[in-house]
Structure 1
Amino acid sequence: MSQLNAVSDAYKTLLDMVEKVEPRIAAATRQELTDQRASLKLIASENYASLPVLATMGTWLSDKYAEGTVGHRFYAGCQNVDTVESVAAEHARELFGAEYAYVQPHSGIDANVTAYWSILAHHVESPALEEFGARTVNDLSEADWETLRKRFGEQRLMGMSLDAGGHLTHGFRPNISGKMFHQRAYGTDPETQLLDYDVVAQQVREFKPLVLVAGYSAYPRRVNFAKMREIADEVGAVLMVDMAHFAGLVAGKVFTGDEDPVPHAHVVTTTTHKSLRGPRGGMILATKDYAADIDRGCPLVLGGPLSHVMAAKAVALAEARTEEFRTYAANVAANAKALAEGLLRRGVRLVTGGTDNHIVLMDVRDFGLTGRQAEAALLESGIVTNRNSVPNDPNGAWYTTGVRLGTPALTSRGFTTSDMDAVAEMIAGVLKSTKPTTTSKGEPSKAKYDLSDEARQHSLDEAERLLGQRPLYPGFDI
Structure 2
Amino acid sequence: MRDKIIEKLIDAETKRQRETLDLIPSENVVSAEVMRALGTPLVNKYSEGYPGKRYYAGNSVIDEIEILAQERARKVFHLGKSWHVNVQPYSGSPANLAVYFALLGSRTDAERTQTRADKTPRRSTDIMGMALSAGGHLTHGFKVTASGRYYNTVQYGVGRDGFIDYKEIEKIARREHPKIIIAGATAYPRVIDFKKFGAIARSVGAYFMADVSHIAGLIVAGAHPSPFPYADIVTTTTHKTLRGPRGAIIFVNRNSKVALAHRSLGEGGAKKPFDIAKEIDKAVFPGLQGGPHDNQTAAIAVALYEAATPAFKKYGHQIVKNAKALAHELTRLGFSLVSGGTDNHLMLIDLTNLGISGREAQDRLEKNGIIVNRNTIPYDTRSPFDPSGIRIGTPALTSRGMKEKEMKAVAELIYKTLAKGENVGSAVRMLARRHPIIWR
TM-score (norm 1): 0.83
Counterpart of 1:13 in structure 2 is none
Matches of 1:254 and 1:224, distance apart in 2: 13
The 5 A counterparts of 1:142-181 are 155-181=125-151
**1:471 corresponds to:** 436
Partner residue in 1 for 2:212: 243
1:219 has 2:188 as partner = yes
Distance 1:183 1:468 in 2: 47
Residues 305-314 or 283-292, more deviating? 283-292
Distance 2:244 2:110 in 1: 39
Q: What is the aligned partner in structure 1 of residue 392 from structure 2?
A: 405
In structure 2, the partner of 1:338 is 325
Question: Which structure has more helix as a fraction of its residues?
Answer: 1
Structure 1 unmatched runs, 5+? 1-18, 126-144, 434-451
In the other structure, the counterpart of 1:286 is: 252
Q: Alignment partner of 1:97: what SS?
A: coil
Alpha-carbon deviations, 1:224-251, whole Å to 9, x = none?
1000000000100011111110111011
Do residues 75 (structure 1) and 44 (structure 2) align? no
Name the amino acid aligned to 2:364: A
1:112-131 map, 5 Å: 112-121=96-105
Which residue, out of 363, 384, 404, partners 2:350?
363
**AA partner of residue 428 (structure 2):** A
Contact 2:129 2:140 in 1 (8 A): yes
Q: What is the correspondence of 1:71-470 to structure 2 with a 5 Å cutoff?
A: 71-98=52-79, 99-121=83-105, 155-190=125-160, 192-255=161-224, 259-289=225-255, 290-296=276-282, 297-433=284-420, 452=421, 455-456=422-423, 459-470=424-435
Distance in structure 1 (CA, Å) of the matches to 2:143 and 2:332: 38
Deviation at 1:175, TM superposition (A): 0.7
Distance of 1:268 and 1:182 partners within structure 2: 21
1:368-422, Cα deviation, whole Å (9 max, x unpaired): 1111000000100110000111001111211111100010000000001011011
Which secondary structure does the structure 2 equivalent of 1:396 belong to?
coil
The change in CA–CA distance for 1:147 and 1:384 in structure 2 (over 3 A counts) is closer
- For 1:24 and 1:261, the matched residues in 2 are separated by 46
Task: State the 1:74 CA deviation.
Answer: 1.6
In 2: Cα distance, 1:101 partner to 1:462 partner: 45
Deviations 1:72-106 (A, max 9, x none): 11222211111111010110011112312110000
- Taking the aligned partners of 2:289 and 2:241, their CA distance within structure 1 comes to 24
Moved runs in structure 1, 4+ residues, more than 3 A?
Answer: 145-155
Residue matched to 1:56: 37
State the Cα RMSD in Å. Answer: 1.8
Q: Which of 42, 47, 56 is the matching residue for 2:23?
A: 42
Q: How far off its partner does 1:149 sit?
A: 6.5
